[in-house]
Amino acid sequence: MLLAALAFALYLLPTYIAFRRGVHNRWAVVAINIVLGATFLGWLVALFLATRPVQSRRLPA
């Protein structure tokens, strides 16, 4: 049971990181993580998107 909980937490790690960091495309990370996360490549893509540098929004002058 503990192993299953740890595996589930690891599976959703990119989603957690995206929301914690306030990534602009966090819902895309969620979709990729849930749909393609079972494949290692999909999980890596979601992790990459979640850890990219956050661009600050410019206010109009």
Q: How confident is residue 59, by pLDDT bands cut at 50, 70 and 90?
A: low
Q: What is the pLDDT of residues 5-53, one digit of tens each?
A: 999 999 999 999 999 999 999 999 999 999 998 899 999 999 999 999 8
Stronger pLDDT, 49 or 58, i.e. the higher one: 49
Q: How much is the pLDDT for 56?
A: 72
Q: Check if the beta carbon of residue 15 is closer than 8 Å to that of residue 51.
A: no
> Quick check: 57 pLDDT over 80?
no
What's the rounded Cα separation, in Å, for the pair 21 and 29? 12
> Quick check: 61 pLDDT over 90?
no
* Secondary structure of the chain in HEC code, one letter for each residue: CHHHHHHHHHHCHHHHHHHHHCCCCHHHHHHHHHHHCCCHHHHHHHHHHHHCCCCCCCCCC
